[in-house]
Structure 1
Amino acid sequence: YPLNSPGGWNIIGQTPLQLFDANREPSVLLKMGDNIKFFPITTAEFKKIKKSQKAKLISTDNNVIGIKILKQGLADSIQDLGRYGYQHVGINPTGVMDVAAAHITNFLVGNGANEAVLELHFPASVFQFQSDVIIALSGANFTATVNNIAIPINTPIVVTKGAIISFTKLVNGARCYMAVKDGFAITPWLNSSSTNAKANSGGHYGRILQKDDIIGCSIKSDYSKQLGKKDFFILPWQVDVKGIYNKDNIFHILLGNEYKFLLGAAKEILIDTPFTITTKSDRMGYRLHGLPLQLQQPLQLISTAVTKGTIQLLPDGELIILMADHQTIGGYPRIAHVAQFDIPKLAQMQVHQPIQFAIINNEEAIKKYSLQQQYLLQIKNACIFKLTEYLAI
């Protein structure tokens, strides 16, 4: 085991070697095909080697100017679009749960799509800005206020140094995203700023944000002219997101490799009956409750690749939808995959909300995803034009 984790097997030994180290290249000590030989050492030797192997944490410099956390939220973290290309060595992608909201909040402040953002869960952290900055919020509506005055989501806002942003009431959605113009000063790990809490790497010290943390900002502009003596100033445009988050609870699915092994009745249940998101849900996956699904006969599967949106059938007949922090491989039957264009809406579903599935083919799924990407590109271009025009005044 490269990282600490619970287990039920007999422990026959332990190595002091650091199997995983974010500062090392490669980060993973062992790879597929390596030959391993074990030999005994004394307790003193174990402690000496383990001490020399201790990994350092990668993060931003807490001495820089940025955003200070005055009060810790439920599970807020720094994320970008994910750390892809390393599943073969056991490093999962992580990244934002709602890719569309992350795009929108970055575009609103003139950032690129993959700039790191704050992913907030309600109750969210309370932040204080240590410099003038342009921010934007998108995704869930947590009733944000700056110095106790309500501000809208899906619009850019110039905020003054010393102002405090709080989130007072959950109106809708599950995750709110905040971006700052020019981005956060985060040291990337494996080409990504996303927090991987399991690996204790990426983001801000590889963990959720805590009270007194300071997240550095890459401030490159002066906004004193726009602010004057105001605490904040709302820029006069807003993004319409209704096309991405329609209000129905229907989620389109592509049939998975093991769908064919379901009983006929189970196939009908999958499409004809609703499922409820349970409290056993997190960034790794959504556990669903509903009528149990049964296989034609027990399956012995070799663990194989899974991804965000994969729907697995658990031994008790219930389902789990894998999300941003999903494992790299899985051994449960993959009966379906949520179409990528529906993942943003899925990421904003709350515990106890019902969802229902509808089958879609590859061609239609690609078409709908392409339309969504075109809409996001339109938002990007419009925001660049508006922001450039406004800041030039």
Structure 2
Amino acid sequence: MSLSIIKPGLLDTLQDLGRIGYGSWGINPGGAMDRYAAQVANLLVGNCGEEAVMEIHFPGPQILFEQNTLIAITGANFSATVNDEQIPRWQPVVVRRNTVLQFSSLVEGARCYLSVHGGYCGEKWLNSYSTNLKAGVGGWHGQPLRKGDELPFKENTIYFAGLLKDESNFEALPWRVNTEKIYRWPHEIGFIPGREWEGLSPASQENFIQNNFLIHPSSDRMGYQLKGSPMVMDRPVELLSSAVSFGTVQLLPDGQLIVLMADHQTTGGYPRIAHVISAHLPKLAQLRPCDAIQFKRVDATAAETLLTAQQKELHILQRACMDHLNELVC
């Protein structure tokens, strides 16, 4: 079983939850920008949450399914269609052999995720399928997907043709995920103060909390550059390079900010004034250039509570999806 790329999109890569544990070697974790959406895509088709998915930006690719396949699309809304018929997001869908998936228009969000039952047969490097474009490893030969690429799937034992109605191009299975709580108030991003927060001038601290920041068009998977009123430290500070993470907010020499994203470097020498809470990283990952961000201070206990609730929901979802699939197949 496999799919083939008829026409590539802007930047389509295979990603999982990242290459964890190699920061001391200078190897960044990478992985999906919206890890919640990536996990849900896998769970909906009966995979474990750590399987590789296809991360898609707009304009998206045209994809030919060479076999009957169970898929799920999560994350951004790019108006996905199969043979020009609209298909739902956040819901498992059986697609017929020789049908074409494409993305016709950008409605909301920055990136979506395509999972297939069983997972993709990608290249694993340091225990991860995530594509590292700079090193040229992982994913599909360490590069974005190109025209003519054929991605094989891992073996599965479900006969999907039996779930399709006569002459239909696809069949949406009768369960879906409610993501309202995860992506509610998309421009409001929670943070906890960073190590150098107290070194900011009082006016800059107030500016950070009270004012909006715009995501600069040059932002990418490595970091979101923000534009707003310049901020300053109370006094000049020289720092040794130290560890940074997905969601670290750094103050640049020109007074502007950068939020480190999935492909961030392992260390940095700029003041770490804040850290985006983990539960809000999915919302952050779905913001686009020129979108506004309003930072909201959250205490560590509340941040842990939000993340714990999110992880608990994923565990419940995994069990529910497996039960539904087992019932359907049996």
Distance 1:101 1:190 in 2: 23
Question: Deviation of residue 108 (structure 1)?
Answer: 0.5
Normalised TM-score (structure 2): 0.97
CA contact (8 A) 1:133 1:219 kept: no
Specify the alignment match of 2:159 in structure 1. 222
State which structure, 1 or 2, has the greater radius of gyration over its C-alpha atoms. Answer: 1
Equivalent of residue 289 in structure 1, options 227, 230, 234: 227
295-304 vs 161-170, greater mean Cα deviation? 295-304
CA contact (8 A) 2:65 2:99 kept: yes
Distance 2:240 2:255 in 1: 19
Distance 2:186 2:136 in 1: 37
Distance 1:248 1:99 in 2: 16
Q: Equivalent residue of 2:206, what SS?
A: helix
Specify the alignment match of 2:323 in structure 1. 385
Equivalent of residue 303 in structure 1, options 241, 246, 258: 241
Specify the alignment match of 2:191 in structure 1. 253
Deviations 1:63-97 (A, max 9, x none): xx411110010011000000011111111100000
Counterpart check, 1:265 vs 2:195: no
Specify the alignment match of 1:78 in structure 2. 14
Counterpart check, 1:114 vs 2:50: yes
Specify the alignment match of 2:127 in structure 1. 191
Distance 2:225 2:218 in 1: 6
Q: Equivalent residue of 1:355, what SS?
A: strand
Deviations 1:95-115 (A, max 9, x none): 000011011111100000100
- The Cα RMSD (Å) is 1.0
Distance 2:228 2:151 in 1: 42
Task: Give the ranges of 4+ consecutive aligned residues of structure 1 lying more than 3 Å apart after TM superposition.
Answer: none
Q: Equivalent residue of 1:243, what SS?
A: helix
More strand by share: 2
CA contact (8 A) 2:19 2:30 kept: yes
Gaps of 5+ in 1: 1-64
Question: Deviation of residue 248 (structure 1)?
Answer: 4.4
Distance 2:263 2:186 in 1: 25
Specify the alignment match of 1:157 in structure 2. 93
Distance 1:72 1:362 in 2: 42
Q: Equivalent residue of 2:182, what SS?
A: coil
Question: Deviation of residue 230 (structure 1)?
Answer: 2.6
Distance 2:171 2:186 in 1: 34
Equivalent of residue 62 in structure 2, options 126, 130, 133: 126
Equivalent of residue 211 in structure 1, options 147, 170, 187: 147
Equivalent of residue 368 in structure 1, options 297, 306, 309: 306
CA contact (8 A) 2:123 2:137 kept: no
Equivalent of residue 244 in structure 1, options 182, 201, 204: 182
Q: Equivalent residue of 2:281, what SS?
A: helix
- Identical positions, percent: 45
Equivalent of residue 231 in structure 1, options 152, 169, 179: 169
Equivalent of residue 100 in structure 1, options 24, 36, 42: 36
Specify the alignment match of 2:138 in structure 1. 202
Q: Equivalent residue of 2:63, what SS?
A: strand
Deviations 1:224-277 (A, max 9, x none): 211244321111111111111103421111111111111111111010111011
Counterpart check, 1:176 vs 2:133: no
Distance 2:186 2:154 in 1: 39
Give the residue type in structure 2 aligned to 1:291. S
Q: Equivalent residue of 1:244, what SS?
A: helix
CA contact (8 A) 1:307 1:328 kept: yes
Deviations 1:19-71 (A, max 9, x none): xxxxxxxxxxxxxxxxxxxxxxxxxxxxxxxxxxxxxxxxxxxxxx4111100
Question: Deviation of residue 279 (structure 1)?
Answer: 0.3
Deviations 1:277-301 (A, max 9, x none): 1102100010000001001122211
Gaps of 5+ in 2: none
CA contact (8 A) 1:107 1:113 kept: yes
Normalised TM-score (structure 1): 0.82
Question: Deviation of residue 186 (structure 1)?
Answer: 1.5
Specify the alignment match of 1:14 in structure 2. none
Q: Equivalent residue of 2:41, what SS?
A: helix
